[in-house]
Chains A and B, each alone.
Chain A
Amino acid sequence: MLDFERGEKIFFSFNGQEIEAYPTETIAAALHAAGVSKLGESPELHRPRGLFCAIGNCSSCFMVVDGKPNMRVCVINVKPGMCVEEQKGKGELNY
Chain B
Amino acid sequence: MKTIEILVIGGGPAGLCAAISAASLGAKVLIVERDEIPGGQLVKQTHKFFGSEKQYAGDRGIHIGQMLVENAQNDPNIEIWHASTVLSIYEDGVVTVEHEEKHTKVKPEKIIVATGAAENFLGFPGNDMPGVYGAGAVQTLMNVAGVMPAKRVLMIGAGNIGLIVAYQLKQAGVEVAAVIRRSPVIDGYLVHASKIQRAAIPILTRHTILHAYGDGKVEGAVIVKVGEDKKPIPGQEIDIKCDAICLAVGLSPLTELCWQAGCKMAYISELSGHVPIVDDNLETTVKGIYCAGDVSGVEEASSAMVEGRLAGVSAALSLGYGKGAAIGLQKEAQKELRQLRDGPMGNHIRKGLAKMEHNRL
Contact = CB atoms under 8 A, between A and B. Distances in A.
Same complex: yes
Interface string A8-31: 000000000000000001101100
Interface in A17-49: 25-26, 28-29, 32-33, 37-39, 42, 47-49
A39 B34 contact: no
A50 B134 contact: no
A37 B217 contact: yes
B217 A33 contact: no
Contacts of B133: 50-52, 54
Given A25-B145, A48-B130, A55 B217 contact: no
Nearest to A5: B146
B136 A54 contact: yes
B46 A48 contact: no
A2 interface: yes
Contacts of A56: 34-35, 85
B35 A55 contact: yes
B146 A6 contact: yes
Nearest to B116: A55
Contacts of B34: 56, 75
B129 A50 contact: yes
Given A52-B134, A53-B119, A56-B85, A32 B128 contact: no
A58 B145 contact: no
A1 B171 CA distance: 10
Given A37-B130, A57-B254, A58-B118, A52 B146 contact: no
A4 B217 contact: no
Interface string B129-145: 11111101100110111
Interface in A49-95: 49-58, 74-77
Contacts of B137: 51-55, 74
A84 B128 CA distance: 22
B353 interface: no
B36 interface: yes
Contact of A2 (B46, B119, B134): B46
Contacts of A32: 141, 145, 147, 149
Contacts of A51: 130, 133, 137, 141
B239 to A, nearest CB: 21
A72 to B, nearest CB: 8
A48 B217 contact: yes
Nearest to B115: A57
Nearest to B149: A32
B194 to A, nearest CB: 19
A91 to B, nearest CB: 16
B217 A26 contact: no
Given A52-B137, A56-B35, A29 B145 contact: yes
B343 interface: no
B216 interface: yes
B83 interface: yes
Given A32-B141, A33-B147, A53-B136, A75 B36 contact: yes
Contact of A49 (B62, B128, B136, B143): B128
6 contacts: A29-B141, A38-B130, A53-B137, A54-B133, A55-B41, A56-B85
Interface of A: 1-2, 4, 6, 25-26, 28-29, 32-33, 37-39, 42, 47-58, 74-77
The 9 closest A-B pairs by CB, nearest first: A50-B130, A29-B145, A54-B137, A4-B146, A37-B130, A54-B140, A33-B147, A57-B118, A75-B35
Given A25-B147, A75-B34, A76-B36, 14 more contacts: A1-B46, A1-B171, A2-B62, A29-B140, A32-B141, A38-B130, A48-B129, A50-B132, A50-B217, A52-B137, A55-B35, A55-B137, A56-B34, A75-B83
Interface of B: 34-36, 41, 46, 62, 83, 85, 118-119, 121, 128-134, 136-137, 140-141, 143-147, 149, 171, 216-217, 254
